Structure 1
């Protein structure tokens, strides 16, 4: 089974225009750009565009995974609760003949828009090349394996896979996460002790294997 791709909130926030629009909600990350293109110039896109690049979990019921509902004070009927304004695929409050119902499922239930999952916790690490002494600060997802973190680091070193990754002198298992490799997340303890986390960022050291076959 293919592992999902994880994203940080900062990565989601970079997609914040109508031409490239992502949102996160209930742990999912969705690319709604195709929806924007499909419903172009529809006024019901406004609430979505206003929240481009943001987390909109507060729009939804965590139990039903559907849009929040409330009892309409005028009709006494249960309606979707959209205080920012009705958005695409949300039915109008009353009977109307101009509302299109030809979509298969509402976008928040449609898997075609999902590109990955939102990390539950980001982590900062220092990746230090023992050969060149180059140091890079990386924000990663706590759910990512070292192999996946390596792919993040490739932009800084295209031959990162030709290195042995170690922490405190111990070779890391690239198929496991940082936590599973005992690279512990001390943020909670550092906060409790009122210590600056920037001074206690875990360091991973890369040792060159003299093998450039893994580009």
Structure 2
């Protein structure tokens, strides 16, 4: 099994057009771009496109992991709950001969669209390159290891692997999370004290090892 990849809500929000359509629900992130391409021009795609880049967990029953349902007041039949209108793979409210139901697994149950997990909590950290004195603020997922965070930092420094990562002089275990490395999340404390959390972001210092990695 490949390692789990975590995404921040802002990362999901960046994929918000039909050709690059991501959505999240029930804690997971899905790339529905192939579905949008398959049903391009179909009116039933409209609710999905309108929700691209957003979380649609409110469409689903957390226990059944399926769409919520409601009882039609006219027919008394149970139908999927679609607050933004009927969408792809949802049956019509009345029997119709023009609706193909041989598509197999509905998209919301098809793991082929799954790309990762939505982070339950994100954090901002300061990464300071002691060689160049450059500093970046990076949003990371609390569930990520330091190696995952290193990958997020690569756009700023393609040789990040050639540095020793430290927090207040202590080497960080790159296979552990921030919390496991003793870097506590104090955001709630700052909120209660009405202090600006951004002014007290945990500083992670990078020290060059003189073994330059290939880019």
Regarding TM over 0.5, the answer is yes
Distance, in Å, in 2 between the alignment partners of 1:28 and 1:142 is: 15
Does residue 160 in structure 1 map to residue 160 in structure 2? yes
Kindly indicate whether residue 16 of structure 2 is the aligned counterpart of residue 16 of structure 1.
yes
1:213: how far off?
3.3
Q: Which residue of 2 aligns with 1:149?
A: 149
Distance, in Å, in 2 between the alignment partners of 1:88 and 1:131 is 53
1:19 Cα deviation from its structure 2 partner = 1.0
Once the 2 structures are TM-superposed, how far is the Cα of residue 2 of structure 1 from its aligned partner?
A: 2.4
Aligned residues: 215
Provide TM-score, normalisation by structure 2.
Answer: 0.98
Residue number in structure 1 paired with 2:43: 43
The separation in 2 between residues aligned to 1:184 and 1:97, in whole angstroms, is 59
CA distance in 2: counterparts of 1:4 and 1:99, whole angstroms: 37
State the partner residue of 2:127.
Answer: 127
Task: Check if 1:174 corresponds to 2:155.
Answer: no
Alpha-carbon distance between aligned partners in 1 of 2:84 and 2:124, rounded to the nearest angstrom: 34
* Structure 2 residue matching 1:49: 3-state secondary structure: helix
1:89-100 to 2 correspondences below 5 Å = 89-100=89-100
Deviation at 1:127, TM superposition (A): 0.1
- Name structure 2 gaps, 5 residues minimum: none
Q: Do residues 79 (structure 1) and 79 (structure 2) align?
A: yes
Offset at residue 40 of structure 1 (A): 1.4
Question: What is the CA–CA distance in structure 2 between the aligned matches of 1:214 and 1:201, rounded to whole Å?
Answer: 30
Report the counterpart of residue 54 of structure 1 in structure 2.
54
Distance (whole Å) between structure 2 residues aligned to residue 186 and residue 213 of structure 1? 34
Q: Would you identify which runs of 4 or more consecutive aligned residues in structure 1 move more than 6 Å? A: none
Q: Normalising to structure 1: TM-score of the pair?
A: 0.98
| d(CA) in 2 for partners of 1:195, 1:166 | 26
Q: Secondary structure at the match of 2:64?
A: coil
- Aligned residue number for residue 114 of structure 1: 114
Would the aligned equivalents of 2:22 and 2:31 in 1 still touch at CA under 8 Å? yes
RMSD between aligned residues? 0.9
Q: What CA distance in whole angstroms lies between the structure 1 residues aligned with 2:111 and 2:33?
A: 14
Secondary structure in 2 matching 1:99: coil
Name structure 1 gaps, 5 residues minimum.
Answer: none
